[in-house]
Amino acid sequence: MRLALAEAEQAPLTGDVPVGAVVLSADGTTVLARARNEREATGDPTGHAEILAIRRAAAATGQWRLTGCTLVVTLEPCTMCAGAIVQSRLDRVVYAATDAKAGAAGSLWDLVRDRRLNHRPEVISGVLPAPASALLTHFFRTAGP
**Residues with a known catalytic role:** 50
Strand locations in the chain (E): 20-24, 31-36, 70-75, 92-97, 122-124
Give the pLDDT mean for 98-120. Answer: 96
pLDDT at 144: 57
Query: Could you give all domains of the chain from N- to C-terminal order, each with its CATH number?
Result: 1-140 (3.40.140.10)
What is the rounded radius of gyration, in angstroms, for the C-alpha atoms of the chain? 14
Q: What are the pLDDT digits (tens) for 11-34?
A: 999 999 999 999 999 999 999 999
**Cα end-to-end distance, the chain, whole Å:** 30
Give the pLDDT mean for 99-128. Answer: 96
Is 69 known as a binding-site position?
A: no
pLDDT at 32: 98
Could you give the 3-state DSSP secondary structure of residue 95? strand
CB atoms within 10 A of CB 124: 13
| Lowest-confidence segment of 2-6, 61-65, 115-119 by average pLDDT | 115-119
Is 78 known as a binding-site position?
A: yes
pLDDT at 52: 98
Counting residues of the chain whose pLDDT is more than 70, the rounded percentage is 99
pLDDT at 143: 79
Is 81 known as a binding-site position?
A: yes
Q: Residue type for 78, please?
A: C
